[in-house]
């Protein structure tokens, strides 16, 4: 069936800026994310810069990666950073207890990570060990990365070949403290949080730090409530939130060979992000009406069963048009809540969960999710154009979801970008967008789509899904009519 939906863009001087950090990434020491992913070592035959694959570096620069979270995830609360510095061959090893029980040889450590971020032009976001670490280790890490010179850690850094500090701004204080970070209550963690946050600034640089409290999962509003209520504003810059689009933790379903029923359920789970973000923001509003503390969704994405024959602890999964829908809709949700959501990190960048890049030996492919990130770069740091509309429904066996997701922005150069997702697996939807007040003369379009929802790129067919030019729209004066084909992502840009 064909329906027509009217969408109004409402330019407003008060609208927030969409922080580019919403388009952030995440690389955990998990499976083939770092080792045999980003990092192949500097003796590898695969082209690399200081051991990091140059094809991955180029791909991430292309989508203007704004930040990278590391080293976990659950791994973070087991990580002893001091074992990852100094001569590689002398570094102690450890067991990666959460992810497959493999031996971590610490060959990729703080220098490797921070130099990679410099190379990428991305802000590092270190999520530090609280669960099994000490306040002293945390203080030392900050001193090691940020203190200019003369201090014990600055001297050690220099001995290890790096004179200038990296000035790391973003610090996560533990991860999932309700679970793998230590199975704590929020009341207990809040005190621990305050203890860590108190000592983080002892290098005299507390004004330069952005401290992110380990947040809730999904609809745990009590978690956010207690942090917001009990942590003084002088000790906190942001509260985290994690939400994965998982249809059932016991039976996550296949990453490629799924039915429409599973697809529908995945969409339903993904769209819950809107409700979660809204309600966590309401809690934050109550304690912080001045909007001084940010919401950081530092893990999100689709989570399925691993690919057959791969280590279940490595979380390696394929990435189809379903993932493009999740990415497109989720990023629109973040844009539309950018007054409070200032950062987000897809889980995860390379070879883990909803990856943007997959590798196999010397081969690398870009996933549909990657292409969505690429199409949305126009939103980075642009001013939000709030949207108002009633979505048509995508129905499946008596249940329904909003079929259309939209966000829009205008950047400093004056260009407008409108990103639209039609997640209906069967029907095209037509939208009419009112552009009054935007003074748009011409637009160009891009689309991501494929024949089947299950379609994906493979190492044999890496270009099956790619961004194409889109022309099925009409611009007449202030009215823009667009046809949105089933399960497609479209971005229209003024020029």
Of the pair 348, 488, the CB lying nearest ligand AHR is at 348
Contact region with ligand AHR (CB under 6 A), list: 189-197, 275-283, 347-355, 452-460: 347-355
Positions 55 through 114 that interact with ligand AHR (CB under 6 A): 72-74
Active site residue 206: no
Could you tell me the smallest distance in angstroms from the CB atom of residue 288 to ligand AHR?
25
Number of residues near ligand AHR (by CB under 6 A) = 10
36 belongs to the binding site for ligand AHR (CB under 6 A): no
Could you tell me the smallest distance in angstroms from the CB atom of residue 26 to ligand AHR?
7
Interface with ligand AHR (CB under 6 A), residue from 247, 329, 347, 467: 347
Q: Is the dihedral of CA 267, 269, 273, 275 positive or negative?
A: positive
Of the pair 160, 311, the CB lying nearest ligand AHR is at 311
240 belongs to the binding site for ligand AHR (CB under 6 A): no
Count CB-CB contacts under 10 A for residue 126.
26
267 belongs to the binding site for ligand AHR (CB under 6 A): no
Positions 171 through 190 that interact with ligand AHR (CB under 6 A): 175-176
Spatial separation of the C-alpha atoms in residues 394 and 267, rounded to whole Å: 10
Could you tell me the smallest distance in angstroms from the CB atom of residue 395 to ligand AHR?
32
Active site residue 469: no
348 belongs to the binding site for ligand AHR (CB under 6 A): yes
Could you tell me the smallest distance in angstroms from the CB atom of residue 352 to ligand AHR?
7
The active-site residue, picked from 299, 308, 412, 428, is: 299
The active-site residue, picked from 28, 176, 237, 269, is: 176
Of the pair 127, 405, the CB lying nearest ligand AHR is at 127
Of the pair 176, 237, the CB lying nearest ligand AHR is at 176
- Interface positions with ligand AHR (CB under 6 A): 28, 72-74, 175-176, 299, 347-348, 353
């Amino acid at each position: 069936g064909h329906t027509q939906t009217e969408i109004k863009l409402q330019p407003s001087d008060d609208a927030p800026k969409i922080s580019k950090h919403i388009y952030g990434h995440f690389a955990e020491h998990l499976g083939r994310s770092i080792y045999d992913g980003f990092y192949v070592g500097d003796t590898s035959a695969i082209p690399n810069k200081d051991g990091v694959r140059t094809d991955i570096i180029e791909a991430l620069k292309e989508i203007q990666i704004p930040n990278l979270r590391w080293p976990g995830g659950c791994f973070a609360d087991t990580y002893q950073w001091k074992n990852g510095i100094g001569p590689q061959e002398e570094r102690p090893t450890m067991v990666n207890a959460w992810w497959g029980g493999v031996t971590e040889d610490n060959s990729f450590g703080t220098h490797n990570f921070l130099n990679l971020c410099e190379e990428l032009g991305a802000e590092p976001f270190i999520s530090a060990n609280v669960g099994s670490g000490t306040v002293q280790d945390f203080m030392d890490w900050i001193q090691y990365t940020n203190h200019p010179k003369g201090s014990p850690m600055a001297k050690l850094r220099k001995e290890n070949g790096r004179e200038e500090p990296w000035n790391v701004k973003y610090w996560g204080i533990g991860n999932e403290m309700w679970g793998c970070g230590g199975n704590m209550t929020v009341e207990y963690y809040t005190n621990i949080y305050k203890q860590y946050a108190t000592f983080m600034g002892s290098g005299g640089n507390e004004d330069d730090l952005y401290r992110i409290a380990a947040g809730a999962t999904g609809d745990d509003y009590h978690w956010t409530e207690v942090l917001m209520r009990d942590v003084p504003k002088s000790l906190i810059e942001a509260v985290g939130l994690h939400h994965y689009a998982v249809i059932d933790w016991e039976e996550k379903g296949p990453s490629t060979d799924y039915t429409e029923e599973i697809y529908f359920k995945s969409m339903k789970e993904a769209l819950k992000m809107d409700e979660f973000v809204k309600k966590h923001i309401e809690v934050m509003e109550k304690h912080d009406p001045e909007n001084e503390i940010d919401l950081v969704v530092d893990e999100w994405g689709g989570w399925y069963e691993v690919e057959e024959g791969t280590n279940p602890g490595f979380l390696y999964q394929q990435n189809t048009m379903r993932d493009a829908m999740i990415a497109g809709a989720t990023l629109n949700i973040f844009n539309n809540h950018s007054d409070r959501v200032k950062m987000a990190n897809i889980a995860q960048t390379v070879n883990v969960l909803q990856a943007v890049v997959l590798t196999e030996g010397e081969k690398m492919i870009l996933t549909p999710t990657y292409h969505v990130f690429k199409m949305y770069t126009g939103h980075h740091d642009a001013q939000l154009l709030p949207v108002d509309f009633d979505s048509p429904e995508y129905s499946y066996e008596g249940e329904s979801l909003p079929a259309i997701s939209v966000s829009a922005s205008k950047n400093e150069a004056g260009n407008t970008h409108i990103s639209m997702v039609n997640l209906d697996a069967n029907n095209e939807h037509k939208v009419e967008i009112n552009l009054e007040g935007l003074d748009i003369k011409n637009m160009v379009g891009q689309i991501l789509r494929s024949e089947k929802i299950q379609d994906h790129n493979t190492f044999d067919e890496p270009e099956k899904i790619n961004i194409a030019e889109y022309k099925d729209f009409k611009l007449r004066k202030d009215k823009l009519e667009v046809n949105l084909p089933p399960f497609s992502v479209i971005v229209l840009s003024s020029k």
